């Protein structure tokens, strides 16, 4: 009986892992698509500015383990920059902030988790637009660092 329960739990864990992987692929595709649309000027800097203003206005309060006051301050500094002032370092920081929001949502009550995920989704779109803007100016992302490559291998 216990082994049957263990098998069911293992199957559920596998299914959740597959869903998580599929979701990651979908998010990556959407991010790439938005970057391409922006770099081809199908989306404009006006859309980016509107989204940036929304993000600055409705930023969640920082109050816990992952989405801390320091993380929120980094986000404020990035959102205060003009589009032409943003760099690939800012893009990488936006990704770290996105992950902090997702991690925070995982330990939050349902209402706060929904708010954090809603905000994280908008932040991911803004990150994609910034990537597209940088590429449209001919500024390509730096090659992966040796440290990042080693992390991927493990």
The pLDDT tens digits for 72-100 are: 999 999 999 999 999 999 999 999 999 99
Burial of residue 52 (number of CB atoms within 10 Å: 0-12, 13-18, 19+): buried
Residue 8 has pLDDT above 60, yes or no: yes
pTM over cut 0.85: no
Quote the pLDDT of residue 108.
93
Residue 154 has pLDDT above 60, yes or no: no
CA dist., res. 87 & res. 130, Å (int) = 8
Q: What is the DSSP letter of 60?
A: P
- What is the rounded average pLDDT for all residues in the chain? 88
Instruction: Classify the C-alpha dihedral 55-59-60-63 as positive or negative.
Output: positive
pLDDT in tens, 94-125: 999 999 999 999 999 999 999 999 999 999 99
């Amino acid at each position: 009986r216990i082994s049957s329960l263990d098998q069911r739990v293992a199957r559920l864990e596998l299914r959740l892992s597959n869903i998580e992987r599929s979701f990651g692929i979908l998010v990556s595709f959407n991010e790439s698509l938005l970057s391409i649309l922006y770099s081809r000027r199908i989306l404009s800097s006006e859309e980016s500015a509107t989204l940036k203003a929304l993000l600055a206005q409705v930023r969640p309060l920082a109050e816990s383990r992952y989405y801390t006051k320091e993380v929120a301050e980094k986000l404020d500094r990035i959102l205060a920059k003009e589009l032409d002032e943003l760099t690939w370092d800012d893009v990488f920081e936006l990704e770290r902030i996105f992950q902090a929001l997702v991690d925070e949502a995982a330990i939050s009550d349902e209402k706060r988790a929904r708010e954090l995920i809603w905000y994280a989704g908008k932040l991911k779109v803004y990150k994609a637009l910034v990537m597209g803007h940088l590429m449209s100016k001919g500024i390509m992302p730096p090659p992966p660092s040796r440290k990042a490559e080693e992390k991927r291998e493990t």
